[in-house]
Structure 1
Amino acid sequence: MTIAHLTPTSFSSSSVLGGGERYVANVARAVARAATADHVPVDQRIVSLGGERSSVIVEGIRLETLPNDTQRPGPMNAISHHLREALVGADVVHVHQSLTVFGAYATATAASMGIPVVLTDLGGGADENMLAGRGMDLAAAVVSISAYAGALIGSSIMGRHEVILGPVDTETFHPQQADGLRGEGILCVGRILPHKGVDRIVRALPPQLSLTIIGQPYDQPYLDLVKGLARGKDVTFVHDADDEMVRRHYSTSALLVQASTTLDAYGRRVEKPELLGFTPLEAMACGAPVLLAKTASLPELIAGTDAGRLFRDDEELAQALREWAQGTWRPGLSSADVREHVVRTFGLEVAGRRLLEVYQGVLD
């Protein structure tokens, strides 16, 4: 079975280091892991758009870049006249960021070639051709990355619809500290953008706690705002961390805080603040407990466990951090149990098997 993953942007320093891009890379790795374990022959390629055409094989997966043949601004609006050529020989096409101009073009191209299409929304848009125009009816199946994400598009789906949380790369992200030897500082990881709510964490930070913020600054005015709020507090910014550094911080920090919000610091409404929180999942894979906003998909990550705590608003966030500083709140699970929750529920092999079932199902 040959699977082509289509994404407007790839997960790389030359493209975008975001959760949507990491998701596609994780899906390919998860499928490869499950296929190897179950002795299922699978060939995969990830096709994205960018500058000059290129092709390279990484971990047995071909990464192809096609030129963007349109002058429309933004990668989500990009198309490539080479796409049809790149899909020759594919048995299944998985279109990521499917609710974009790119997604509509990729879906129509694959469907016109008679190739079964699987769609996933990663928060990149709300293209009317796919929604009101019923473009999603071209899909043989839709995979949503959380129940929250699925609910947003459920009324536009006529056929098979699966919710598969993850996959999380629990091989890359694993504990580096013995259980109980974590530090005292708290951590925030992710792109520094208004809907991530980093300003909320800084405002709520009590004087007894230190905070490390790791992430690329994609919005300079917002970064300036957050740095202004951080003056006089024990806050460190890291903008150039690789996976190794992030993993080290996940393993040594006392707590990971994610404060994504539907109302950002400028009073703007955010429709899709967190379709799937990769940062908390990676932190928990390294044994870190989490403090999460009761927003979007985030409650699904710790449902039925004592791996962390949820907060509804800024007041509850500040209260939870005060209790953490005073030692009056700690999660009931050990670091090892926090990791086991992620491996068992969101890990590569678990999610990979479910994805393989979807791909095999659209070929039956």
Structure 2
Amino acid sequence: MFTSVVHVTPAVFGDYGLIGGAERYVHSIAKSIGHNRNIRQSVLGFSDRPGIRQQLGGIDLHVVPTDSFSHNRMDWYGGKVWEALDGHDLVHVHQPFTRCGEVALLAAAQQGKIIVATDLGGGMPPRDGQDHPVGLAHRIVAISEFSAEMLGHLKSIPIDVISGPVDDAFLEPPVIGDKRGALFVGRLLPHKGVDRLIKAAPPELDVTIAGETHDLDYMAHLNALARNKRVTFVEAPSTATVRELYIGAAVHVAPSVVFDYRGGFHPNSELMGLTTIEAMCCGTPVAVANTCSLPAMIDPAVGEVFDDEAALADILARVQSGEWSRRYAPATVRDYALARFAPAVVADRLMDSYRKAEEAAR
């Protein structure tokens, strides 16, 4: 029976890495497994700073210097990955289609480890028939049905669909007051479709955009669209601030696109929609674009799917009138999310997947 797991990711979550959904996901599943389980865990990532090793919530956080200073952070990796895997039974490779993931897969296979892989949107899966180190994995954990479909041609590797978990920070029962306005939480990048939210919003509706700026031209575009509207930007909010924003919003909007306003193509722009899950756990109903994984994340009892800006504008008009909040009960929204995405629920399913990978590795 395996007793130790190392999660390998190009960048860890937080000060030594990136503040993004993929990075938060790795940290969240490690924490969920750590609850009441006798499993030693480590999260391994890479940085351009000197290496660190520290305990973070009972998890060994190991950040090592990169040997590859690619402009693409997802391609950072280091030769010490071989050394860092030593002493662990199971290697969970996150972002397997990046250079970092490929190196980790090869190193884990060379050392005879149990290997599980999860695609979090970094890089593109291989085409049908194309050789790739992901074929060395004993099992794949897909974070949505959409993600599993993208990997369906990897027929030799069993795939389990496990969405979530939500981070512990969003589990405490919220004190629900007057919920107002529309909220977006996430990175400010063209494929997130925030421009669609601003354009669809009635001039009198409060709209809050919370996240890190990753594209200055896109940010300038958003600011131009926000003129003469009640739009507030919250740059790089803390987790506590994000939670309060979720609780106070009448709706959380996920307006992601496959084709952005510049014509850029993003076929896997939303593999799971973590902020949608977080919002629901805080009792906030959601409006999600009919894009990638998002429609499958919700149910008619907790929100709506929209096809275009006109449909989003209709939703936001109902938010402004109060009709939206009268339709969706915060307790129903929260119960729906916790039943599917709570850490204990996700950890049980993930441990089952790990055990199956262990059997395949024998």
TM-score, normalising length: structure 1:
0.94
Find the aligned partners of 1:347 and 1:132 in 2 and give their Cα distance.
36
Which stretches in structure 2 are left out of the alignment for 5+ residues?
none
Q: How does 1:128-277 map to 2 (within 5 A)?
A: 128=126, 132-178=130-176, 181-277=177-273
Find the aligned partners of 1:76 and 1:104 in 2 and give their Cα distance.
11
Find the aligned partners of 2:326 and 2:290 in 1 and give their Cα distance.
17
Q: SS at the partner of 2:287? A: strand
* 8 Å contact from structure 2 (residues 285, 333) kept in 1: yes
Question: Equivalent residue for 1:58?
Answer: 56
Using the TM superposition, give the Cα deviation of residue 358 of structure 1 relative to its aligned residue in structure 2, in angstroms: 1.4
TM-score, normalising length: structure 2:
0.94
* Percent identity of equivalent pairs: 35
RMSD: 1.7
Using the TM superposition, give the Cα deviation of residue 23 of structure 1 relative to its aligned residue in structure 2, in angstroms: 0.5
Question: Equivalent residue for 1:348?
Answer: 343
Find the aligned partners of 1:161 and 1:217 in 2 and give their Cα distance.
34
**Cα 1:229–1:88 shift into 2, 3 Å:** same
Find the aligned partners of 1:157 and 1:24 in 2 and give their Cα distance.
25
Using the TM superposition, give the Cα deviation of residue 171 of structure 1 relative to its aligned residue in structure 2, in angstroms: 4.7
**Deviation readout 1:330-355 (Å, 9 max, x if unpaired):** 47441111111111111100001111
Matching of residue 337 in structure 1 with residue 295 in structure 2: no
**Deviation readout 1:265-310 (Å, 9 max, x if unpaired):** 112111111001111110111100111111111111113x410011
Matching of residue 314 in structure 1 with residue 309 in structure 2: yes
Q: SS at the partner of 1:44? A: strand
Using the TM superposition, give the Cα deviation of residue 315 of structure 1 relative to its aligned residue in structure 2, in angstroms: 1.3
Question: Equivalent residue for 1:103?
Answer: 101
* 8 Å contact from structure 2 (residues 9, 93) kept in 1: yes
* 8 Å contact from structure 1 (residues 182, 251) kept in 2: no
Q: SS at the partner of 2:218? A: helix
* 8 Å contact from structure 2 (residues 170, 278) kept in 1: no
**Deviation readout 1:70-101 (Å, 9 max, x if unpaired):** 24332222221111111111110000001111
Matching of residue 47 in structure 1 with residue 44 in structure 2: yes
Using the TM superposition, give the Cα deviation of residue 318 of structure 1 relative to its aligned residue in structure 2, in angstroms: 1.2
Supply the AA of the counterpart residue of 1:5: H
Find the aligned partners of 1:175 and 1:265 in 2 and give their Cα distance.
38
Q: SS at the partner of 2:151? A: helix
